Amino acid sequence: MLTLIVRRLLQAIPLILLISFVGFMVIQATGDPLAAFTVEADLTSDDIARLKAKYGLDKPPPIQYLNWLKHMLTGDWGFSYYTREAVFDMVMHRLPNTLILMGFSYVAILVLGVTLGVLSAVYQYTWFDHVVTGISFLGIAAPSFWLALMLIYLFAVQFMQWGLPSLPVSGMFELEVGKTFAQVVEHVVLPGTALATVVTARYIRFVRAEMLEKINMDFVRTARAKGVPRITVLFKHVLPNALLPLITLIGLDIPNFMSGTIVIETVFSWPGMGRLFWSAAERTDIPVLMATMMLVAVLTVSAQLLADLFYGLVDPRISYDDD
């Protein structure tokens, strides 16, 4: 196991470096990084030249990348071109908010996705299966931004008109109340639901298909022939085998899930990494963009490594001793 971890980490280093280099080159080509300085100021050509020299923007892009990489590896993430704040502080301030949103959503995804997927497979072709399947198809087809707007319209606008308790649609808490646990829970319901719906629908379809495949395999028929109760067969034999491929799917989804918060956080004004990335992209704020991109890259590699490790924990037949 230790050999696997070391080997994967060594493989991850050149991959992350390649991602950072390509990302830096693409970001450089998307706009003028000095726009944050020049949009509201009447700067002369000498002023712009001094700014370029101060931030190293007068050097070729590969040299700029090497300078950025050297500072990043030493813990200096730089300063935002727009707000002049330390990028590390900006990321650390926003990251917990995104993790709250992701945590709420992923708990709902796993609980509903696995439960409804298992029940849909157990009660195949019944009215319950047809309803769950139909809802899951709608969930997969619905764009997240459209779903977010529909949730706002129903649970905020219409509920208020009907005299029912409505849900907040922006921010993490009311300023006059403060950031209490109850406030955060109340504010996370709508964005968390919008973020979780599409993934939950996909997991329902995935778990249902895996369950149906495993139910018809020889080891299940053998267990049933030996008189093992159906409920024991389902939860002891079928479900663990059906959920094993889900680990890979989760490992791939977590980084994409974080990227998907951009739309939801923007619609609901949630102060997280998604909004930070979007605002930085609008201003070509290179230090902020690179920090958020590297965070997602490291998260992607880490998620894949954890997925491999969980394989060995969930299924004892999998061994990494020969790796």
**Contact present, 104 and 188 (Cβ < 8 Å):** yes
Would residue 251 count as lying in a domain? Answer: yes
Q: Which pLDDT value is given to residue 254?
A: 76
Domain with 107, as residue range(s), is 95-274
Block residue for tokens 């958020």? 292
Closest residue by Cα to residue 1 from 318, 260, 275, 244 = 318
Structure tokens at 123: 């009660």
Would residue 183 count as lying in a domain? Answer: yes
DSSP 166: P
Q: Which pLDDT value is given to residue 204?
A: 93
| pTM of the predicted model as reported, rounded to 2 decimal places | 0.83
CATH number of the domain encompassing residue 266? 1.10.3720.10
Closest residue by Cα to residue 132 from 144, 118, 147 = 118
| Separation of alpha carbons 88 and 20, rounded Å | 17
Would residue 121 count as lying in a domain? Answer: yes
| Separation of alpha carbons 294 and 277, rounded Å | 12
Q: Which pLDDT value is given to residue 127?
A: 94
Query: Which DSSP string do the residues of 56-96 spell out, in sequence order?
Result: TTTS-HHHHHHHHHHHHHTT---B-TTT--BHHHHHHHHHH
Would residue 249 count as lying in a domain? Answer: yes
| Separation of alpha carbons 188 and 244, rounded Å | 30
DSSP 79: B
Tell me the average confidence (pLDDT) per consecutive run of 10 residues in the chain, 323 residues long.
Answer: 75 86 84 66 75 82 89 86 87 90 90 92 91 91 88 91 89 86 92 90 91 84 83 82 81 74 88 87 84 85 77 64 52
Structure tokens at 143: 């764009």
Q: Which pLDDT value is given to residue 191?
A: 93
Would residue 311 count as lying in a domain? Answer: no
Q: Which pLDDT value is given to residue 83?
A: 83
Number of H helices, E strands in the chain: 14, 0
Would residue 79 count as lying in a domain? Answer: no
Would residue 245 count as lying in a domain? Answer: yes
Would residue 120 count as lying in a domain? Answer: yes
As for how many domains the chain has, the answer is 1
